[in-house]
Structure 1
Amino acid sequence: MKLLTVVAAWASIAAGSALQGSCSSCDIDLKALGKSLSSTAKVYCPGTSGFKNVTTRWSVLEEPKVNVVVVPGTENDVVETVKYANKKNVPFLTYNGVHGALVSLGKMDHGVGISLSQLRSVKIAEDGQTATLGGGVMSKQVTDGLWAAGKQTVTGTCECVSYLGPALGGGHGWLQGHHGLVADQFVSMNVVLADGTLTTVDANSELWWAMKGAGHNFGIVTSVTIKIFDIEHSDWAIETITFSGDKVEAIYQAANDYLIKNGTQSADIINWSYWMNNAEADPNNPVIVFYIIQEGVKAVDSIYTKPFHDIGPISIDPQSGTYKDLAAWTSIALDSPPCQNMGFANPRFPIYLEQYNVPAQKKAWDIYAPAIRGSSAFNNSIFMFEGYSAGGVHAIPADSTAFAFRSENLLAAPMINYSPTGEALEKKAADLGNQLRNILHEATGHDDFRAYINYAYGTETSEQIYGSEQWRQQRLRDLKNKYDPEGKLSFYAPIE
């Protein structure tokens, strides 16, 4: 393996940038980079707490490996780091929330990490119509910063992920029924291209189309200006309804009939569900946890909940609060288990659906439930079904962005969690995840399955994550060849 190494003497030469630790063995001398960085930049070497903090990932499956991490203090620090990596012919990889879990990241076996963790500003424009965000800002920071000013926007749902990580792949969120995807809120962005050029990309730019759905392949976004909106509803409510597995068919038939309604789900309604072990609900068997979320109310309307009550759940838990409570209610808040870096491999196998195919849901349950039950190595797994309102997504022309799957209404993904013990268990997990996805895919009637890039396993084809239309693939390849001909930005869901 080719190794990037750094002289220990950098500590005294780095022009004011903070170097933590000694990156020893002097194959490559990085003192020139140190001199070009701002005084607020930081450089972390392996074996230090700073290096560990910015490189520890949510999923340990096929982790990327780097030999030094630069934490830019300014946008220009990103420019200088990319230029230097290119000059020394070593790969580079950008980090935000370190939640990316595609196995393609494992192809990064040495090089420079670029952590955007110091670029986390939220600045609201004087007219209150837009906000400019630092490239490393986290979703919760955006939500909290805007909420304090009476504003909101579409962000990813999970509090511990970055804003831009999901956004560059399209990005689903609670408010998409009104405003579209996270990427649909972009107004302009500063982007460091593969050659180290800093450029502003907006609706007049050739790259604008590509950045909204395939942006990971085209540059490092150091800041982005987005549309924001007045808070329309402070009140939100949820019912968490837990069922035994024998109700699987009735649950998803009701979801089709009373919630999704052939893609016309009301903009104020969201339905989610998890298939998971929950010892409090059933100590011996997995259960189905079904969420019905509604905005603008203190209790979810019974027109939506009664059909599910009539099925005969194990428990019903109604709650009320604000938009800021949604992540905690659905167990994806900062302090929730899924947001902790616990050393698990967490591969996902996503597929978009137009509606639930009830027989396929039953078939998948009958395979999934015994696979995660009891002392199984996969007993921390979660099968996720995300049913956002899709009106705002449908309203935007499908050919206007690189995100290709605007006609879909549901996102399903088994997430097979396990403590890695070797290749045999890794293969078993992948086989289970792919088997479950294939069951749902066969029921769609589509020739090819359609996968959400931000949940992808990493072995999906370009057609499966960027759309199968020939013109889409050609446009992406042409842009890739023009802006990144050497494939420097190709570790995360590469265009091939």
Structure 2
Amino acid sequence: MTFAKSSIEKVMLTLAVNIVYSGPKEVGQKYTKLFSPYSLSLEDHMLKWEELPTKVFSLIPYSCASGPRYDLYSVNARNLNPPTWVDFGNEFEESMQQHPAANGSSMMIETFPVQGIEALRNDYSAFPHRKYFHNIIEVIGVYTDDSVAKPVDDFLRSWRVKFAATSGYEKLHVNQNYAHDDEPLSALYGYQPWRHERLTKLKGAYDPYGFFDGYHVVPSDVKKWT
């Protein structure tokens, strides 16, 4: 996971790379050494699997803290287009300098091994991103002063469009857990009609009364897919 975070003290971008390797420490260090020539500092730790969610820069506990507002936009991407990232870095730093109340906002790239899911046929399950899960780009606005809410949201939304344009996918694909809630449902669950039919059927079987309608709801009527 890669974070670009605007530092309140220095008002500049800070880039951090977190590499998680499941295996012997000596083997994992082969990968961390690839980045060490470019690093101001380098740390490596052996952790138990159950410790991992709370040890990655303490991000999960921080994200669950009450008080700050979080504004998240996300895009799945095959490509991480270098010119796009240069433009984003420059504009992100400029935006944070213009709106210091949003310092602490961040960008994250999550990259996963996809050999396992891509080895299965496309209709193996209703999982929507079997061919569209190479990288997840997230831009996250963090602030407590609501006066910066609109400019932060405008900036992040515009960059969702720009990242999608160079993602390498023909359509918008968004991991459901990171959706903003303004995307078409097909971007979250897949565009193929058979997926819509399958998910709507499951919705009717397991949630006919709509008890789970509060979070990117799967339509109970197949005609209501967007």
For this structure pair, what is the TM-score category when the shorter chain's length is used for normalisation? 0.7 to 0.9
1:452 aligned residue (167, 175, 183): 175
Q: How far apart are the structure 2 equivalents of 1:486 and 1:286?
A: 48
Question: 2:59 matched to 1:365?
Answer: no
Per-residue deviation, residues 38-68 of structure 1 (Å, max 9, x unmatched): xxxxxxxxxxxxxxxxxxxxxxxxxxxxxxx
Q: How far apart are the structure 2 equivalents of 1:427 and 1:277?
A: 18
2:50 aligned residue (303, 316, 324): 324
CA separation of 1:325/1:278 partners in 2, compared to 1, >3 Å: closer, same or farther?
farther
TM normalised by structure 2 equals 0.81
Q: How far apart are the structure 1 equivalents of 2:39 and 2:158?
A: 28
Q: What does residue range 208-247 of structure 1 map to in structure 2 within 5 Å? A: none
1:337 aligned residue (50, 57, 62): 62
Q: Which residue is 1:148 aligned to?
A: none
Question: 2:34 matched to 1:307?
Answer: yes
Q: Which residue is 2:4 aligned to?
A: 275
Q: State the AA in 1 paired with 2:22.
A: E
Residue 278 (structure 1) shift: 4.3
Indicate the SS of the match to 1:399.
coil
2:159 aligned residue (417, 436, 454): 436
Q: How far apart are the structure 1 equivalents of 2:198 and 2:145?
A: 39
CA separation of 1:416/1:318 partners in 2, compared to 1, >3 Å: closer, same or farther?
same
CA contact 1:285–1:374 (8 Å) conserved in 2: no
Indicate the SS of the match to 1:489.
coil
Q: How far apart are the structure 2 equivalents of 1:369 and 1:305?
A: 27
Q: Which residue is 2:221 aligned to?
A: none
Structure number with larger C-alpha Rg: 1
Q: State the AA in 2 paired with 1:276.
A: K
- Runs of 5+ unmatched residues, structure 1: 1-271
Q: How far apart are the structure 2 equivalents of 1:371 and 1:333?
A: 22
Question: 2:76 matched to 1:352?
Answer: yes
CA contact 1:441–1:449 (8 Å) conserved in 2: yes
Q: How far apart are the structure 1 equivalents of 2:96 and 2:103?
A: 4
Q: Which residue is 1:464 aligned to?
A: 187
CA separation of 1:427/1:477 partners in 2, compared to 1, >3 Å: closer, same or farther?
farther
Residue 305 (structure 1) shift: 2.9
CA contact 2:79–2:166 (8 Å) conserved in 1: no
Q: State the AA in 1 paired with 2:47.
A: G
2:143 aligned residue (418, 438, 445): 418
CA contact 1:348–1:414 (8 Å) conserved in 2: yes
Q: How far apart are the structure 1 equivalents of 2:121 and 2:58?
A: 31
Instruction: For CA contacts below 8 A with separation 6 or more, give which structure has more relative contact order.
Output: 2
Calculate percent identity across the aligned residue pairs: 22
Residue 313 (structure 1) shift: 2.2
CA contact 2:11–2:96 (8 Å) conserved in 1: no
2:15 aligned residue (272, 288, 304): 288
Residue 316 (structure 1) shift: 1.7
Per-residue deviation, residues 156-187 of structure 1 (Å, max 9, x unmatched): xxxxxxxxxxxxxxxxxxxxxxxxxxxxxxxx
CA separation of 1:445/1:292 partners in 2, compared to 1, >3 Å: closer, same or farther?
closer
Residue 373 (structure 1) shift: 4.0
Per-residue deviation, residues 389-417 of structure 1 (Å, max 9, x unmatched): 22333334432332200222211111111
CA separation of 1:389/1:445 partners in 2, compared to 1, >3 Å: closer, same or farther?
closer
Q: State the AA in 1 paired with 2:5.
A: M
Range that drifts further, 382-391 or 449-458: 382-391
Q: How far apart are the structure 1 equivalents of 2:134 and 2:64?
A: 26
Residue 369 (structure 1) shift: 2.2
Indicate the SS of the match to 1:398.
coil
Q: How far apart are the structure 2 equivalents of 1:460 and 1:429?
A: 18
Residue 444 (structure 1) shift: 2.1
CA separation of 1:316/1:278 partners in 2, compared to 1, >3 Å: closer, same or farther?
farther
Residue 380 (structure 1) shift: 1.8
CA contact 2:7–2:104 (8 Å) conserved in 1: no
CA contact 1:378–1:416 (8 Å) conserved in 2: yes
- Runs of 5+ unmatched residues, structure 2: 219-224
Residue 483 (structure 1) shift: 5.8
Per-residue deviation, residues 177-220 of structure 1 (Å, max 9, x unmatched): xxxxxxxxxxxxxxxxxxxxxxxxxxxxxxxxxxxxxxxxxxxx
The two structures, once aligned, show a CA RMSD in angstroms of: 2.7
CA separation of 1:447/1:479 partners in 2, compared to 1, >3 Å: closer, same or farther?
same
Q: Which residue is 1:399 aligned to?
A: 123
CA separation of 1:294/1:278 partners in 2, compared to 1, >3 Å: closer, same or farther?
farther
CA separation of 1:470/1:285 partners in 2, compared to 1, >3 Å: closer, same or farther?
same
CA separation of 1:318/1:480 partners in 2, compared to 1, >3 Å: closer, same or farther?
closer
CA separation of 1:305/1:401 partners in 2, compared to 1, >3 Å: closer, same or farther?
same
Q: How far apart are the structure 1 equivalents of 2:130 and 2:213?
A: 24
Residue 454 (structure 1) shift: 0.9
Q: State the AA in 2 paired with 1:410.
A: N
Q: How far apart are the structure 1 equivalents of 2:22 and 2:57?
A: 18
Q: How far apart are the structure 1 equivalents of 2:30 and 2:45?
A: 17
